[in-house]
Amino acid sequence: MRGCVFLLRLAGFVRNRRFVPYNDAMAPVYLDNNATTRPAPEVVEAMLPFLRESFGNPSSTHPLGQAARHAVENARTAVAALINARPQEVFFTSGGTEADNFAILGVLAENPKKRHIVTTAVEHEAVLRLCQRLETQGYRVTWLGVDRLGRLDPAEFEAALRDDTALASVMHANNETGVIFPVERLAQISAARGVPLHVDAVQTVGKIPLDVTAAPISLLSLSAHKLHGPKGAGALYVRRRVRLRSLMMGGHQERDMRPGTENVAAVAGFGRAAELAMATMHDDAPRIARLRDRLEAGLLEQTRGAHVNGDRANRTPNTTNIGFETLEAEAIVITLGENGVCISAGAACASGSLEPSHVLKAMGIDPIIAHGGVRFSLSRYTTESEIDETIHRVPPLLERLRKLMPAAT
x/- letters, 17..56, toward ligand PLP (CB under 6 A)? ----------------------------------------
Which residue type is seen at 288? I
Min dist. Cβ of residue 112 to ligand PLP (A): 26
DSSP 208: S
If the CB atoms of residues 34 and 54 are measured against ligand PLP, the closer one turns out to be 34
Min dist. Cβ of residue 124 to ligand PLP (A): 4
Residue 213 CA, distance from chain mean position? 22
Min dist. Cβ of residue 290 to ligand PLP (A): 23
3-class secondary structure, 270: helix
Residues 126 to 155: which contact ligand PLP by CB under 6 A? 126
The residue count for binding ligand PLP (CB under 6 A) is 14
If the CB atoms of residues 89 and 200 are measured against ligand PLP, the closer one turns out to be 200
Give the phi and the psi of residue 56 in degrees, each rounded to 5.
-60, 160
Does position 202 interact with ligand PLP (CB under 6 A)? The reply is yes
Min dist. Cβ of residue 384 to ligand PLP (A): 26
Please pick, from the candidates 206, 234, 317, 372, the single residue that binds ligand PLP as defined by CB under 6 A: 234
Among residues 4, 131, 342, 349, the one annotated as catalytic is 349
Residue 137: how many other CB atoms lie within 10 Å: 8
The verdict on whether 349 is a catalytic residue reads: yes
From the list 90-98, 236-244, 314-322, 345-353, the region that binds ligand PLP by CB under 6 A is: 90-98
Does position 96 interact with ligand PLP (CB under 6 A)? The reply is yes
Does position 95 interact with ligand PLP (CB under 6 A)? The reply is yes
Residue of this chain nearest to ligand PLP (CB atom): 96
If the CB atoms of residues 152 and 327 are measured against ligand PLP, the closer one turns out to be 152
Does position 223 interact with ligand PLP (CB under 6 A)? The reply is yes
Min dist. Cβ of residue 227 to ligand PLP (A): 11
Residue 312: how many other CB atoms lie within 10 Å: 14
If the CB atoms of residues 203 and 321 are measured against ligand PLP, the closer one turns out to be 203
Does position 359 interact with ligand PLP (CB under 6 A)? The reply is no
Cα separation, 89 vs 235, whole angstroms: 10
As a residue count, the chain comes to 409
The residues near 225 (Cβ < 8 Å, ≥ 6 apart) are 36, 37, 39, 95, 231, 232, 233
Please pick, from the candidates 32, 89, 200, 262, the single residue that binds ligand PLP as defined by CB under 6 A: 200
Please pick, from the candidates 76, 116, 124, 402, the single residue that binds ligand PLP as defined by CB under 6 A: 124
Does position 267 interact with ligand PLP (CB under 6 A)? The reply is no
If the CB atoms of residues 117 and 407 are measured against ligand PLP, the closer one turns out to be 117
Does position 242 interact with ligand PLP (CB under 6 A)? The reply is no
Residue 154: how many other CB atoms lie within 10 Å: 15
Cα separation, 121 vs 407, whole angstroms: 28
Cα separation, 141 vs 21, whole angstroms: 43
Residue 270: how many other CB atoms lie within 10 Å: 33
Give the phi and the psi of residue 173 in degrees, each rounded to 5.
-135, 145
CB-CB contact of 318 with 377 (8 Å): yes
Q: What is the helix (H) or strand (E) element at residue 29, kind and residue range?
A: strand 29-30
If the CB atoms of residues 116 and 225 are measured against ligand PLP, the closer one turns out to be 225
Does position 171 interact with ligand PLP (CB under 6 A)? The reply is yes
3-class secondary structure, 287: helix
Cα separation, 367 vs 347, whole angstroms: 11
From the list 17-25, 93-101, 152-160, 329-337, the region that binds ligand PLP by CB under 6 A is: 93-101
Please pick, from the candidates 203, 263, 357, 390, the single residue that binds ligand PLP as defined by CB under 6 A: 203
Cα separation, 390 vs 144, whole angstroms: 36
Min dist. Cβ of residue 127 to ligand PLP (A): 7
DSSP 179: B
Please pick, from the candidates 33, 37, 97, 253, the single residue that binds ligand PLP as defined by CB under 6 A: 97
Does position 175 interact with ligand PLP (CB under 6 A)? The reply is yes
The dihedral through the CA atoms of 260, 261, 264, 266 has a sign that is negative
Rounded to the nearest 10 degrees, what angle do helices 63-82 and 264-302 cross at? Answer: 30
245, 238, 155, 232: which is closest to 199 by C-alpha?
A: 238
- Active site residues per annotation: 349
Binding site for ligand PLP (CB under 6 A): 95-97, 100, 124, 126, 171, 175, 200, 202-203, 223, 225, 234
